[in-house]
Amino acid sequence: MSATLASSHSTVDSTVPDSETLIVFPNGLVGQPDWKRFVLTTPEEDATIQVLQSVEQAELALMVTNPLQLIANYSVPLSREERAILQLEADEQPTVLCTISIHSNLITTNLVGPLVVNSRNGLGTQVVVVDSPYSTRHPVAVLGAQE
């Protein structure tokens, strides 16, 4: 990702890639360059949370969500380089997903490092939003008292 390239804010596409579609992150994920090939699945019990399952490492799965469910005006600035990686057409908007984590009794989502996917071709990239008003641990929910 180059900070010198011009960027444009992309609105978030509310659709999600088909669960049978392979999603390929050519450069891997931030800090994990070997994490490249995934399938997005939706557990039947909760369509608000999806699972990005590695097709190369069975034990690797990331919980993700559509950030529009949390922040209606969420947007991600994409550089020309990032749009090129995704092979987005000029007027094409990507699907954006954010990873979910559990910290003690708090469920959070990373709004600073969203996963951006071209639903048409299954190409993805992880964007690091610089000077973001958001957090890497945006609160989503508090879990009940653990017994």
CATH assignment at residue 57: 2.30.290.10
pLDDT of residue 51: 92
- Which H or E run includes 101? strand 95-103
- The answer to the question of residue 81 being in a domain is yes
CA distance to 41, 116, 118, 124, per residue, from 65 (Å):
11, 12, 16, 15
Residue 10 lies in a domain: no
Residue 98: inside a domain, yes or no? yes
Q: State the pLDDT at residue 48.
A: 85
Indicate whether 3 belongs to any domain. no
Share of residues in the chain with pLDDT > 70 (%): 84
* Under 8 Å between Cβ of 54 and 38: yes
Q: How far apart are CA 22 and CA 39, in angstroms?
A: 5
What is the total count of domains within the chain?
1
Q: What is the mean pLDDT of residues 112-132?
A: 94
pLDDT at 4 > cutoff 60: no
- Owner of token pair 């979910």: 100
pLDDT range class, residue 20, cuts 50, 70, 90: low
Report if pTM > 0.95: no
- The domain of 120 spans 19-142
pLDDT score, position 44: 75
Question: Considering the domain boundaries, does residue 2 fall inside one?
Answer: no
Residue 12 maps to a domain? no
Assess if residue 119 is contained within a domain: yes
Q: Could you read off the pLDDT of 78-92 as tens digits, one per residue?
A: 999 999 999 999 889
Q: Which residues, 6+ apart, have CB-to-CB distance to 76 below 8 Å?
A: 9, 10, 12, 94, 96, 114, 116, 127, 129
Q: Which residues pair with 40 in a beta bridge?
A: 52
